[in-house]
Structure 1
Amino acid sequence: MKKKYRNITVNIADKIGMLNFNRPEQLNAMNQEMMNEIIDAIKTINANEEVLVAIVQGEGRAFMAGADIKEYGNQSPEEFRSFQERGLELYSAIENAPKPWIAAVNGFALGGGFEIALACDIILASEAAKMGLPEVFLSLVPGGGGTQRLIQKIGINRAKEVLFTGGQYPAKVFHAWGIVNHVYPEEAFKAEVKHFAQKLTRRSPEAIKQLKKLAQLSLSSIPFEQKIEEEGKAVTALFFGDEAKKAIQDFIDKS
């Protein structure tokens, strides 16, 4: 039975799971209810074996303009701690998913919205998109891993600039800095995102799962030799699997 949500929509078709933020009047700002729905949807998509690739995007002019400040600013200490803990669960559910997640950034991706994009494996952006972490304007810092993921992706000096200024950066700047994978014209954005996702659905799901795991492992503090060992285990397991055997034989037969 298809689940009903108030603040998001979920659609699954052609091996692609689409999670859409749907509070356009609030620029998809995230309140507690919306956060809970997003976490539930991510887990549902991750558990669906028919879904090979997931996309998260926003309705209207924004991907997500961060937390709903009206609710966020009035939280009790207990509510604040719960909101932060659930936020970390959200980002982790994307980052540690067994399948690739694509952030389709169509407009503003600020604060927690940008942190969601940073947790994704691929960021595709419209030419109209603007991204940033403006928490400094509220005398705050990002609380969903934004500082650490940003530094991992663009280096400490550029990350400090983004964090210290709190500015909104055009997609083309972040593309040049290596955060955004591709920038597309507004009129072609949805079609290009779908085309990119469809391309990934034609790749081996098990190989993609292992590649994502190994890529994340590269950021860990374990010794380099152990990382190479894990890579060796992955390729060995895949090599002796039925999927690789068939793919290799098909390649040989076509040669």
Structure 2
Amino acid sequence: MDEIVEGIRWINSNNKVNVAVITGEGRAFMAGADIKEYGSQTAEEFDAFQEKGMQLYDAIEHASKPWIAAVNGFALGGGFEIALSCDMIVASEDAKMGLPEVFLSLIPGGGGTQRLIQKIGVNRVKEMLFLGGQYDAKTLNNWGVVNAIFPSDNFLSQAMNYAGKLSRRPQQSIAQLKRLVNLSMTATPFEERINNEARTVKKLFLHEEAQQAIQSFIKKSEK
């Protein structure tokens, strides 16, 4: 977890990276915590483990650049919570996702109860949490959790192509869009959020990059 958090922070600070993709290796994106290790933790070790997880999720969610979870297999428990902290999720056709903590008389501890509700309706969230089942990519795509599904045999290349399209969008616009969408899910009053949007679009409009893009569009439309 230390290495993953360090890697995420390094990517976030690298100005040459426009879009980040996180994926797994082998049969799983991440199958969740090692239960044997998890079960042997003291209260202090459990607190430290939870804190490290929070650092991981926050580093993705609060990054200015977009993160895509490329779920190549099983994404369960904390693995699914990593995917939920990302801005988008793409999945292989045989991917399975879920939050099975209820089977251990526990609940998700990495934001699963809060981030999932931001993506789908409350009834679906309660079903996933209460039953603890595994859901396939097609179901989660229909529910709005998964953005796209790609064949398993060339999944990673398809996921990178998907990310490549996003990387060609103006990065300052993408950063502000992510910030404003995330702001919409906070307790910030609606009027303040709308005013924030208005200030941001003006700032972007006055920027040289937007002015050049606008003038270029006008010249093309006049041909």
Taking structure 1 as the reference length, the TM-score comes to: 0.85
Provide the identity percentage.
63
- 1:127-157 C-alpha deviation (Å, 9 max, x unpaired): 1100000001111100000001111211211
Question: What CA deviation, in whole Å up to 9, does each residue of 1:208-231 have, x standing for no partner?
Answer: 000000110111111111111010
2:130 matched to 1:167? no
Q: Which runs of 5+ in 2 are unaligned?
A: none
Q: Match of 1:204, as an amino acid? A: P
Selected match of 1:110 from 65, 76, 80: 76
Moved more, 85-94 or 53-62: 85-94
Partner of 2:20, secondary structure, is strand
Measured on the aligned residues, the alpha-carbon RMSD in Å equals 0.8
Equivalent residue for 2:4, pick from 24, 38, 47: 38
User: Quick one: which amino acid aligns to residue 92 of structure 2?
Assistant: S
Task: Name 1:24's counterpart in structure 2.
Answer: none
**Cα shift readout 1:23-57 (whole Å, capped 9, x = no counterpart):** xxxxxxxxxxxx11111000000000000000000
Question: Structure 2 residue aligned with 1:178, among 144, 152, 163?
Answer: 144
1:206, distance to aligned residue in structure 2 (A): 0.2
Identify the match of residue 148 of structure 1 among 99, 114, 135: 114
After superposing on structure 2, the runs of 4+ consecutive aligned residues of structure 1 that deviate more than 3 Å are: none
Report the Cα distance in structure 1 between the residues aligned to 2:124 and 2:170, rounded to whole angstroms.
35
Is 1:63 aligned with 2:29? yes
**Structure having greater relative contact order (Cα 8 Å, sep ≥ 6):** 2
| Cα distance in 1 between the residues matched to 2:186 and 2:106 | 27
Q: CA deviation at 1:76?
A: 1.2
What displacement does 1:188 show? 3.1
For 2:35 and 2:7, how far apart are their aligned partners in 1? 23
Equivalent-residue separation in structure 2 for 1:70 and 1:223 (angstroms): 44
- 5+ long unaligned stretches in structure 1: 1-34
- Counterpart residue number, 1:51: 17
- Out of 52, 59, 69, which is 1:93 matched to? 59
Residue 253 of structure 1 is matched in structure 2 by 219
